Structure formats: structure tokens, C-alpha cells
Amino acid sequence: GLENGRLILTDAALKDMVRRYTREAGVRNLEREIGTICRKVARQIAEHKAETVTVDAADLSTYLGPEKFDFGLAEEEDQVGAVTGVSVSESGGDVLTVEATIMDQGSKTEEFVLTGQIQKVMEESARAALSYVRAHQAELGVPKGFFKDHAMHIHVPAGAIPKDGPSAGVTMATAIVSALTGRRVRREVAMTGEITLRGRVLPIGGVKEKLLAAHRAGIKTFILPEKNKKDLVDVPKEVTDTVDIKPVSNIEEVLKLALLPGPSITPAQIEAARPSMVPPPN
């Protein structure tokens, strides 16, 4: 019953409907939500409460209720042990944060804890990342014998959602190194890639979806495997023009790009904050 020009849906409103109300692979729910708005606007006009109605992003809650979905954003500041990764689901890409922290092992024999409903392949990637770090602990500045008395805990938030796949390997390795060395992770950097025990970075899938998610989240630098460069032909030019894409072939390159060049706090401060983390300096 709406005549042309009676209802105006702004571009911002449509974008927010897609992001916050109808996360899906198709457009069926989007059509339903637009229909809901049209019916409510038609009633307003029939009741002579308005001649024309413009619906902007700020008006969506009035017509559609509270937001149903949210999407990840870049961290607000550089942090120790928190790295931005990217994931892909049936409804597209999104960013996620991988967290790592160090615990006093105490009397327990467990040296590795992984939480966040991590599935088998992703668990194996985390173990490979930790093994790489342990094999190179001297060059990374980790004290000898450190892992005898300390355990590593890796957590991927949104624990209600199962997560799997090898592409978070470099993200986990970076989080581990950051937690061990006290070096902050650059907040504007996101990454993806599988890691091997030798520190090589292997190609992954979903490059287009992951880059779109990083662009939407405000990421400025995106680290991806060297062998995924061929997949950039599918990425919109708007994304490649605004996100600095860094192809890498090994984890050393990732750490140079993602971590700030020195400890964010002194060893004494680290020791005071976590007495069991770093032995007293010689």
C-alpha cells in the first residue's frame, strides 16, 4: 500500500540491517525485516501521522527492536597477550581475539590449557604454536627452564560458539610470544595463517571473507600467508586500497609486524605483576 517516495530507507539503515539484524548467507531475512518496516510505515501513513517517512540507522530499533547480532571491532589499545585474528562461518567473516596468559604451574602437571570450545584441528594448531615457541625460547628471550614451573593458558572468547581450523596458528603463536616477553601487540593488526613446527606460515581459506571482516572492523594491517596472494584478485578494491596487506612466509616476519619492538613493561614490573612469571634478574 505504499506509493513511491512515501518510504525512504537510507544506505546506512540497510547496512545496519544486514550487519545487526539479518546475518545470513542470503537475503530472505533481510526481505522480511524490510517488510516489517514497510507495514509499520504504511500504518503511520494510513493513520495520517506522517506523509513520508525516512528510516535511518538510528531508527531501526524503533521498527525492528533490539539488535540481534554484533560484529567484532579492532582492540581499542595495544595489549600484551591479546591478538586479533579472523574467522569464517556460513554467514561470512568476523574478527576474534585470541588471548594468552601465563600461570604458575604449582603442583599440577598440566602445561597447556585451551578454552573457548576449541575443536581438534584448532587445538593441534595451538600445540604446534606452543612447541615452536618452546623450541626457540632462548632467541625469544624466555628464561631457561621457564616452562618447568609455568603453564600457558590460551582462550578464544565467545565460548558458546565451536571453533575449528588451522588458520589461527600464527595468531596463537603471536599471543604466546607477547605474553612471555611482555611486548604489546599492535591493535590495528589482524592475521591469519597455519603454523608449522619449523615456524613456516601455510596458506588458508576464506581470504576474501576474512579481509572484508578486517576492513569492517577498522584493521589497518592484515597479515596473511605468502601463498594466499593469488586469492587477493577476489577482494574488492575498496578493501585492498585501505588495508595494508602483508604476505609472510614464516612466523619471524609475523612477530616483527605485529609486536612492538620492546617490552611494554620492565622485567621488574612483570615480576611484581606476576611473581611467578619471570625469575629475578641476575
256 given a catalytic annotation: no
Q: Which amino acid makes up residue 146?
A: F
The total of other beta-carbon atoms located within 10 Å of residue 176's CB is 26
DSSP 220-280: SEEEEEGGGGGGGGGS-HHHHHHSEEEEESBHHHHHHHHEEEEESS-HHHHHHHSTTTSPP
Q: Which of 87, 125, 178, 210 is catalytic?
A: 210
Q: What is the DSSP letter of 8?
A: E
For residue 163, give the C-alpha cell.
571453533
CA 14 to chain centre: 24
CB 71 within 8 A of CB 209: no
Q: Which of 125, 167, 178, 208 is catalytic?
A: 167
CB 191 within 8 A of CB 177: no
Nearest alpha-carbon partner for 165 in 122, 116, 127: 122
For residue 71, give the C-alpha cell.
560484529
DSSP 34-98: HHHHHHHHHHHHHTTS-S-EEE-GGGHHHHH-S---------SS-BSSEEEEEEEETTEEEEEEE
The total of other beta-carbon atoms located within 10 Å of residue 207's CB is 26
Helix, strand, or coil here: 113?
A: strand
230 given a catalytic annotation: no
CB 140 within 8 A of CB 180: yes
Catalytic residues: 167, 210
